[in-house]
Amino acid sequence: LGRGSAGNGSRRWPEAKESMAPHNLLSKKRVTSARLGGLRSGRCSCSGSGQQHARPAGATPFSLSDSLRRQHQRGSFQLARAEASEPANAPEETDPAPVDATANLGGTPVKPTSMLVVGATGTLGRQVVRKALDAGYEVRCLVRPRERPADFLRDWGAIVVNGDLTNPETLPPALVGVHTVIDCATGRPEESVKQVDWEGKVALIQTCQAMKIQKYVFYSIFNCDKHLSVPLMSIKYQTEKFLEESGLDFTVIRLCGFMQAVISQYAVPILEEKSVYGTDDQTKIAYMDTTDVARLTLAALEKKDSSRNVLTFAGPQAFTIQQVIGLCERYAGADAKVSKVPMWQLTATRVLTSFFQWTVDVTDRMAFAEVLNSNESFVAPMQDTYAELGVDPNQTMTLERYLQEYYSVVLKKLKEVGAQSRQGDYYL
């Protein structure tokens, strides 16, 4: 996924095409429609949209004759005998509709509103779950086993199933009866970027192939194709390519940045009178509220012409770090303690950490941070996207209004409890 220069400790990431053959994570536990439904017809009883396998040369077409129905009632699908009992010159029958065919053969039709959200407890995932439930979708959430269960997802009306991208054998049961998969997952700071965001996603996509999932939505990073030397961005781009080659019907959504990240990185520390870190660069990021990202995602699902394409979601206006800090100071009524980090120091630290195996993933994430401080603008025009999705751009949250509403809620709560300062446990 990108080759680093010699001597700086950079790694060479595997190409997506190289991973598809020798690194098939489901090769030993491959899920097939035959195993799931016990049917040799090639129809998948999970999604109802599987393609019928081609017959060998010379094979005669078959139909559900009386003898086959009697065999079906006895619980045996001996299609070879049924085929042999048909005349050699029998006309080819027209394939019935996928859902009807699946139902006739004992499978369960899949509703277009059935959805699996991967990474449902995350900043973006939970907003996708809420918006999908409000829109009438039947939402299933893939959640890693945890000490504190995600009860809030159940309270909203979603179904929670345990699974882990790093354990591919846990994925097939979660996908049974699912029409659409929305992939919001990403590795935690303490986790391996390669293991979760590459190997885990390859396993998920391969499982979706085997289960005949009819729609896959993947969240990527804006301009990831221009920064292949950065492991996280390179992985996102290679995953996009892997999806293209998978044969799945997909939509890739590239994002610039979340407003929620501004809260944890700047708004809360300033309110708690703690130091915040910044640089003197002029990198601009068009932050977007995850609620709006979820809303636009569901709008894209309703559009048939959004299949197998790449969309970019960006906020109404782009801001530098200095401008973000200024907004937080204005609405918090407090001065920020800013510790500026020179770019040469960030680069030197990244090179130093690359020499140690236990800091490799830290290096990868610092490389991403370095890109976000490189005087590049992470902003994209949205007029055509709003028109294509039929969404009113005036409904999109601005960063100023988001911070103003956040601080008004927090400061009101602080006044109610009689606190003097340092309170940051409230999130919109």
69 beta partners: none
Task: Name the percent of the chain lying above pLDDT 70.
Answer: 64
- 80: nearest Cα among 41, 48, 36: 41
pLDDT average, residue stretch 234-256 = 96
The DSSP bridge pattern shows strands 114-118 and 138-143 to be parallel
Element (H, E) at 261: helix 259-262
| Residue 108 binned pLDDT confidence (cut-offs 50, 70, 90) | low
Say how far apart CA 306 and CA 256 lie, in whole Å. Answer: 20
| Residue 386 binned pLDDT confidence (cut-offs 50, 70, 90) | very high
Say how far apart CA 219 and CA 250 lie, in whole Å. Answer: 11
Say how far apart CA 180 and CA 228 lie, in whole Å. Answer: 29
Residue 232, pLDDT > 70, answer yes
Residues 6+ apart with CB under 8 A from 197: 186, 187, 232, 235, 236, 239
Residue 71: its pLDDT value, please?
A: 40
Residue 258: its pLDDT value, please?
A: 94
Residue 146: its pLDDT value, please?
A: 81
| Residue 3 binned pLDDT confidence (cut-offs 50, 70, 90) | very low
What pLDDT digit, counting tens, does each position of 175-220 carry? 999 999 999 999 887 788 899 999 999 999 999 999 999 999 999 9
With both helix axes pointing from N to C terminus, report the angle between 231-246 and 201-210 in degrees, rounded to the nearest 10. Answer: 10
Position with higher pLDDT, 172 vs 78:
172
Residues 6+ apart with CB under 8 A from 74: none
Residue 50, pLDDT > 50, answer no
| Residue 227 binned pLDDT confidence (cut-offs 50, 70, 90) | confident
| Residue 374 binned pLDDT confidence (cut-offs 50, 70, 90) | low
Pair of tokens at residue 312 = 């970019």
- 215: nearest Cα among 253, 179, 184: 179
Say how far apart CA 23 and CA 201 lie, in whole Å. Answer: 12
Residue 395, pLDDT > 50, answer yes
| Residue 76 binned pLDDT confidence (cut-offs 50, 70, 90) | very low
Pair of tokens at residue 168 = 């591919």
What pLDDT digit, counting tens, does each position of 277-294 carry? 877 778 899 999 999 999
Pair of tokens at residue 85 = 């009992």
The answer to whether 229 and 364 are in contact (CB under 8 A) is no
Residue 220: its pLDDT value, please?
A: 96
Residue 229: its pLDDT value, please?
A: 84
Q: What are phi and psi of 198, to 5 degrees?
A: -110, -65
What pLDDT digit, counting tens, does each position of 9-39 carry? 443 444 444 444 434 544 444 443 434 344 3
Pair of tokens at residue 56 = 């060998």
Average pLDDT of every residue of the chain: 75
Say how far apart CA 205 and CA 181 lie, in whole Å. Answer: 10
Residue 373: its pLDDT value, please?
A: 58
The answer to whether 49 and 103 are in contact (CB under 8 A) is no
Residue 87: its pLDDT value, please?
A: 43
- 326: nearest Cα among 262, 257, 377: 262
pLDDT average, residue stretch 142-157 = 89
User: Residue 391: how many CB atoms within 10 A of its CB?
Assistant: 18
Element (H, E) at 384: helix 383-389
pLDDT average, residue stretch 360-364 = 46
DSSP label at 27?
S
